[in-house]
Structure 1
């Protein structure tokens, strides 16, 4: 038995606000809306990110995503209005930590 994909999740209070933020992060609208209160962005292979409207769990999620050019991505995110402190050393590579509007952590890793 082997695993073939992963769907990382963030729980949010306001789905419309989260959709705008994550659409800015990914540079596109959600790829799917599988059910009420759920948005999905499909990434490499069969992996992706789900954003759930679950106010009781919001603000406690962490999503880690690998990026191929962290500096270019940081520059693009700044230009798109997503605030951050820039890439920092971490875990044998570099990380860019982004808080979403609910305080969930989106951690981008890369060179």
Structure 2
């Protein structure tokens, strides 16, 4: 039985990567077990690790659900990520975008179009 997930992203410069991901996620890491390594629990049981090392360019994307892609696009501009195009398609219940961090790791954001569905999904996930 799978009950938890951890995804690791590598960055060539740990201090810059730590700062960049703190700004993206809007919080300090939840756990820094040793130099060159930090972890954020994004939702209960789902961890993002940022580790110093050779980036896996083109990996991913790691897709994160957000409540407002537009608000996150503003935050991305602060992180020097420009020209993020938001996509949608008939029959798909979300809009989404994909970009890469400064080390080439692909990251995506998605937002539920139906806010009631979004609230129900968040409630279901966060109660577990």
Give yes or no for TM over 0.5: yes
Contiguous gaps of at least 5 residues in structure 2: 113-128
2-side partners of 1:17 and 1:36: how far apart? 13
SS in 1 for 2:43: coil
Aligned length: 108
Q: Which residue of 2 aligns with 1:67?
A: 66
The TM-score normalised by the length of structure 2 is 0.71
Q: Is the 8 A contact 1:9 1:61 kept in 2?
A: no
In angstroms, what is the RMSD of aligned CA positions?
2.1
Map of 1:15-94 to 2, 5 A cutoff?
Answer: 15-55=14-54, 57-62=55-60, 63-78=62-77, 80-84=78-82, 85-89=84-88, 92=92, 93-94=94-95
Q: Which residue of 2 aligns with 1:105?
A: 106
The TM-score normalised by the length of structure 1 is 0.80
1:99 positional shift: 1.3
- Pick 1 or 2: higher relative contact order, CA cutoff 8 A, min separation 6: 1
Q: Hey, which of these two has a bigger chunk of helix by percent?
A: 2
Q: Is the 8 A contact 1:97 1:106 kept in 2?
A: yes
1:82 positional shift: 4.2
1:46 positional shift: 1.4
Q: Is the 8 A contact 1:65 1:109 kept in 2?
A: yes
Q: Hey, which of these two has a bigger chunk of strand by percent?
A: 1
